[in-house]
Structure 1
């Protein structure tokens, strides 16, 4: 109110401004509700609640107030609309205080508002001023930059008192902030901490900005981008993203899925549709609200349904579409859906106006994994370099990172000590196994092959490899510049680097072992995904390079085409032959790097480059 001096002048001059004050902090609104009249109104004004207009008549010095710190029932809001019309017709000033217009105040109020004031979150300057005003003394030391995060007006009321010094107030506020941080659940994250979900986070921030404008009555709901599908592998944080978004938006979240609705009662069609309608009705009654639909690809394409239960499935999809944007509308509903393969989803679900924005979510990069470990570790291992852990965890999803941190804490807790790096290594790489010298030597040769080829390709500065006592290679990282690769020759180099470990085993040991295959993060799995993208998505190889089959990470869909499997196999065989040729040319260097790994347990990129150059010089001499 201080920021709009013309407001008080207008009231003193007999004007009839309509003032809307919003804030996410309920404590701030409740405090404002008790003092706004003393700040804004000259003496002698009568304040009448919005539902008491029967006592108001034209000409009396009156202000109508609407104070709402919780949503009102639709029937009550309907009654308040009459009072808004009376206030407008009689030119009576109106002051409304609420978290937002929708569900809290009559919608007509938003249309006639002349002053929109928004109380921002607490910042360091406000906290400093509050301490000075209450204690009568300035703070002797600057406040920590993270002190304001998550702090509420309620916190200031509890810890800042007139009988305390500024230092005591600060100490108590900082202690409360640290306790709040320590008590956060591993999944209680902020948008800034959702690493690896950059595009989804960007959408969230844009939507949050528009949502604030909507709450202030300055933006129509249909202008908000309120429907998105996150498509990607299991465990990559799609559900977590929906929870974090709802939390930061200050909105309730209703979660549903075809499996959940089908489990209602006996699973008959009528029971399923009724359960679905109940969740949507609950969301609309709590609007604005987030509706999270898990496994949306379970609503399969109606055109591709051929089984005996087709009629049942079609009616389920039709019922879902009706609720998604039927006669009840989508006002106040933000839809976030998750899918493992959106290509299987009914196309009508994804059309414009429904869930038309599709965001691809991939497995996190080593750089993102390092940040994810740091976020979930909180204060643990705060001064420890986690880059080795991140490369060891390549192929992990967010859920795997969370599980590994929990396991590491459990290991330390049961040993009755604080966590150390070895606990986390065990949690990521598995329990220590008894490895023979023969097994360790094969692992060293395999890792040496990768790193020698990377060094030959000029990537020595990105190499960091170590062999742990349990036989786990902490440096099994893929290049971190894949997003910057554009040409076939650049991708071919990556394929050579990935397959070089297997090639080194064949050249130095006579035959490859099983270490190149296995899980989704194995060398063969990574190489296959890249080769599939080159042939079926990027248009850089294969018999039909101009034909787009699927998105780059839709490997299974691309492999479902027989001729694409042949093309991918040809591409991989060519890359493997190239890796064999390079390893044979640099056999001595690969052998020396492997020996260094066995003796020292680690080797740097600069050391590998030195070994390669030394052998070259000896041959020239």
Structure 2
């Protein structure tokens, strides 16, 4: 029925039978817009230019047809995306008519963007039709059914023309029309209803920056509701950050907390919903913006915004195609800013630097908030507690947090997945989730031999103890296997100042695993290759790019192109690495007992926190008195 109605309202040949429901609705809509004075002006063929903005293209087509019937000498045209007029291939038809003294009407879903500037400047009257009033809809039902009707609701008037035509059928009873209207209205509400599984944003474990933004957003959404802000001042925002940080969930949670309607899309969805050609993709994008603009208190959400590429990065072969689509989206964003309904546009991207600059300028999506993965133990623990509930004890929560932290700052999506796997395991055993379930979900089974585990433990303990001795922060150390790495040491270097001394300490620490292998186990193997690459790169940058040693001449290459350096430069780099290796071996020898104790703890627990490392070297956690003396190079 909806497709039939869509076809019906797109017909250019007028129908005079009462079954032309669209004509009845169009006449009532014009009755809302055109008063006696304008009606007289149009009938007298006065030289008048009228701009008419409508909520959808089907309304535009239908109203143009009705205007042609009611005012035979008035020229009306529809201006739409990609095809300016459905009546003439000439862009200046209305302009020519207006210059000849006739009345002209330009109809569009976006007058500001799609109607020619010359017509907008010449306009005598600007009309805006958003929806039928309750009275108009009651009149329509009475005319179609021949009976008066009560019980029409405000949400029924929000339906688009095809839905109204499908619901209001000739030879129906008023109750039947109301029932179909109600079903259509509820269907649309259900399509964009809040997901019951979406939590309010106030309950999400967010970092400080994202929490501050969400709180501010809720305040401004309320201001939009009350009219204290307009859509021109609405906080259109880009949520940017790595994959898995919960950007879509945050947008949905904000909508739920504010009680706003949520309409989501993505650039890939526009291609999937269309034939993939420019016209089809443009129409799919326009449909999204129409859904946002038609209803007040709506948050539109565009995921994968970086899939609309930066035009400056495109080659000429592809630039024209993408420019047409991107320009259309920019115009739609501008139209949302002018929307009479209070609406907000949010977008998300994993790669914000790839987005076209025109998209993110002030006045469009002018705000940006970074959504980072958790960066501290309390943030990681809060996520585990959120997804696992109260099932984990304090000690279990601390342990799984240590495990996750040792693997390198997991995303919220990773933590949610781990807890989900753990819950499934517990349900299969008909019991509550435990810390062991979560731990197993994080690290899985470890099939390595005890001898291999001991080798890894000594190696990672060497890194950790030397790092501690040199004042490098140790957050966690583990022998958990991850990819091609048998273990790891996590260190937060965000506040680390990269001068010559600190670079030497970092290189010494990078070599400490190999040094521990030699000093404690008596030999080394090929597993330290990544450490050597790291040490070489650090020292190379310091010596040949940043001028931290004796020379100022810098090379524009990285360590992977060492062969391009002269023999003397390579020898100098090798000699410095050998010096730092001797320093690392000396530190390992001085702290062998602490390394062996830490290795034993790793074999027992697989993960050791930075606090435990401090305890193992016998230093109180709140001050460093008594810490081993650093050995400096001359």
Q: CA deviation at 1:516?
A: 7.9
Instruction: Please give the alpha-carbon distance, in whole angstroms, between the structure 2 residues aligned to 1:524 and 1:287.
Output: 60
1:360 corresponding residue in structure 2: 370
Q: Are 2:470 and 1:478 equivalent residues in the alignment?
A: no
Q: TM-score, normalised by structure 2?
A: 0.55
2:299 corresponding residue in structure 1: 290
1:453 corresponding residue in structure 2: 466
Query: CA 1:266–1:318 in structure 2 vs 1: closer, same or farther (change >3 Å)?
Result: same
2:94 corresponding residue in structure 1: none
Task: Report if aligned partners of 2:199, 2:256 keep a CA contact under 8 Å in 1.
Answer: no
2:270 corresponding residue in structure 1: 261
Give secondary structure in 1 for the equivalent of 2:283. Answer: helix
Instruction: Please give the alpha-carbon distance, in whole angstroms, between the structure 2 residues aligned to 1:567 and 1:202.
Output: 43
2:132 corresponding residue in structure 1: 75
User: What RMSD in Å do the two structures reach over aligned CA positions?
Assistant: 4.7
Instruction: Please give the alpha-carbon distance, in whole angstroms, between the structure 2 residues aligned to 1:590 and 1:567.
Output: 33
Q: CA deviation at 1:502?
A: 4.2
Task: Identify which of 206, 209, 212 aligns with 1:202.
Answer: 212
Instruction: Please give the alpha-carbon distance, in whole angstroms, between the structure 1 residues aligned to 2:533 and 2:385.
Output: 27
Query: After the TM superposition, which residues 304-343 of structure 1 pair with which residues of structure 2 at under 5 Å, given as runs?
Result: 304-306=313-315, 308-326=317-335, 329-330=338-339, 332-343=342-353
Query: CA 1:595–1:359 in structure 2 vs 1: closer, same or farther (change >3 Å)?
Result: same
2:247 corresponding residue in structure 1: 238
1:376 corresponding residue in structure 2: 387
Query: CA 1:229–1:412 in structure 2 vs 1: closer, same or farther (change >3 Å)?
Result: same
Instruction: Please give the alpha-carbon distance, in whole angstroms, between the structure 1 residues aligned to 2:529 and 2:347.
Output: 35
Query: After the TM superposition, which residues 198-597 of structure 1 pair with which residues of structure 2 at under 5 Å, given as runs?
Result: 198-224=208-234, 226-306=235-315, 308-326=317-335, 329-330=338-339, 332-367=342-377, 368-393=379-404, 394-429=408-443, 431-458=444-471, 465=477, 476=488, 478-479=490-491, 482-485=493-496, 488=499, 492=503, 495-496=506-507, 499=510, 502-504=513-515, 507-508=518-519, 510-511=523-524, 513-514=526-527, 543=545, 563=556, 565-566=558-559, 580-588=581-589, 591-597=592-598
Per-residue CA deviation, residues 386-440 of structure 1 (Å, 9 max, x unaligned), is: 33322322232111110000111122222333222221111111x2122212211
Q: CA deviation at 1:608?
A: 3.2
Task: Report if aligned partners of 1:251, 1:289 keep a CA contact under 8 Å in 2.
Answer: yes
Task: Report if aligned partners of 2:511, 2:532 keep a CA contact under 8 Å in 1.
Answer: no
Task: Report if aligned partners of 1:443, 1:473 keep a CA contact under 8 Å in 2.
Answer: no
Query: CA 1:318–1:526 in structure 2 vs 1: closer, same or farther (change >3 Å)?
Result: farther
Task: Tell me how many residue pairs correspond in the alignment.
Answer: 413
Q: CA deviation at 1:499?
A: 2.7
Q: CA deviation at 1:573?
A: 9.4
Task: Report if aligned partners of 1:269, 1:316 keep a CA contact under 8 Å in 2.
Answer: yes
Query: CA 1:566–1:229 in structure 2 vs 1: closer, same or farther (change >3 Å)?
Result: farther
Q: CA deviation at 1:189?
A: 5.5
2:17 corresponding residue in structure 1: none
Query: CA 1:194–1:582 in structure 2 vs 1: closer, same or farther (change >3 Å)?
Result: farther
Q: CA deviation at 1:262?
A: 1.1
Gaps of 5+ in 1: 1-71, 81-102, 104-182, 518-522, 546-561
Instruction: Please give the alpha-carbon distance, in whole angstroms, between the structure 2 residues aligned to 1:446 and 1:314.
Output: 54
Q: CA deviation at 1:377?
A: 0.9
Query: CA 1:256–1:471 in structure 2 vs 1: closer, same or farther (change >3 Å)?
Result: closer
Query: CA 1:613–1:212 in structure 2 vs 1: closer, same or farther (change >3 Å)?
Result: closer
Task: Report if aligned partners of 2:421, 2:441 keep a CA contact under 8 Å in 1.
Answer: yes
1:605 corresponding residue in structure 2: 613
Task: Report if aligned partners of 1:457, 1:493 keep a CA contact under 8 Å in 2.
Answer: no
Q: CA deviation at 1:500?
A: 5.2
Instruction: Please give the alpha-carbon distance, in whole angstroms, between the structure 1 residues aligned to 2:561 and 2:211.
Output: 34
Q: CA deviation at 1:272?
A: 0.7
